[in-house]
Amino acid sequence: MPTLTKRRYHTRISTARADITAAQKLRALTFGTGDVDGSDRDRFDDICSHILIEDSRSGDLVCCFRMLPLGGGAEIGRSYSAQFYELSALERFDGPMVEMGRFCVHPEWCDPDILRAAWGAMTRYVDDHGVEMLFGCSSFHGTDADSYLDAFAMLKERHLAPRRWLPRVKAPLVFRFAQKLRFRKPDAKQAMLRMPPLLRTYLMMGGWVSDHAVVDPEMGTLHVFTGVEIRAIPATRKRLLRAVAQ
């Protein structure tokens, strides 16, 4: 992926170990996790491409995420998400896939253009590699599901995965929102207010989610498996995404 500059932000793929170290430190700061040297790292870092978004003026790292390319669904067991979800249904997906993970924005930066720059970089990566499905874990802050009932009810009502791809339960702690909230009608305004921004963007692209959320005490989050089939993204949304990728 070539470098990409949008307004005041410069996006590039990591080229050195120091880049990955900087991303790991930003992740630790954002997620409140990390080891003794203040880095959030795991075994997937060595097999992923790391995308860095920096302030063009100061050079500060303001956002990062990583991409794990897979040749197709037969490789889904290699993904980070496969630790938490039973994904055998997706083994039948026969096109190139990429897992987007560890997405974070520096807590002192609130500019919406950062998210636009990130999606521009993602779009260019997808186009450059012929990706047919983008997937990952979309996280809600904290582990109290009661804080997000309208959001989960909205996911249940409008955004569940097609049955042919539906992830099944694997993690020991889960909130089965599709089952528990089957009679709840969501308050649309509250649902969107409580929906994480990254997940909200996935949904606007036609994304779908698992029927349960994993409770992750280590990360202090609830997360849902999220998939976006590239060919199903509405044409107007594709045009907007490719515009920010130029």
Calculate the CA dihedral of residues 39, 44, 45, 51 and round it to 10 degrees.
-110
- The CATH superfamily assigned to 4-244 is Gcn5-related N-acetyltransferase (GNAT) (3.40.630.30)
Q: For a pLDDT cut of 90, what percent of the chain falls above it?
A: 82
Report residue 34's pLDDT band, with 50, 70 and 90 as the boundaries.
confident
CA distance 94 to 63: 31
CA distance 208 to 167: 11
pLDDT digit string, tens, across residues 126-166: 999 999 999 999 999 999 999 999 999 999 999 999 999 99
pTM of the model: 0.92
* Cβ-contact 242, 143 below 8 angstroms: no
CA distance 66 to 137: 12
CA distance 65 to 118: 9
Size of the chain, expressed as the number of residues it contains? 246
pLDDT of residue 85: 98
Please name the helix (run of DSSP H) or strand (run of DSSP E) that holds residue 10, with its range, or none.
Answer: strand 9-13
Classify residue 160 by its DSSP letter: B
Phi, psi for residue 142 in degrees, rounded to 5: 85, 170
pLDDT of residue 82: 98
Q: Name the nearest CA neighbour of 244 among 64, 9, 63.
A: 9
Q: Are strands 221-229 and 208-209 parallel, antiparallel or unpaired?
A: antiparallel
3-state class (DSSP) for residue 162: coil
Phi, psi for residue 105 in degrees, rounded to 5: -120, 135
pLDDT of residue 166: 98
pLDDT of residue 40: 94
Classify residue 80 by its DSSP letter: S
Amino acid occupying residue 65: F
Q: Provide CB contacts within 8 A for 28, sequence distance 6+.
A: 34, 38, 39, 40
pLDDT digit string, tens, across residues 177-231: 999 999 999 999 999 999 999 999 999 999 999 999 999 998 999 999 999 999 9
Q: Name the nearest CA neighbour of 201 among 150, 164, 159, 142.
A: 159
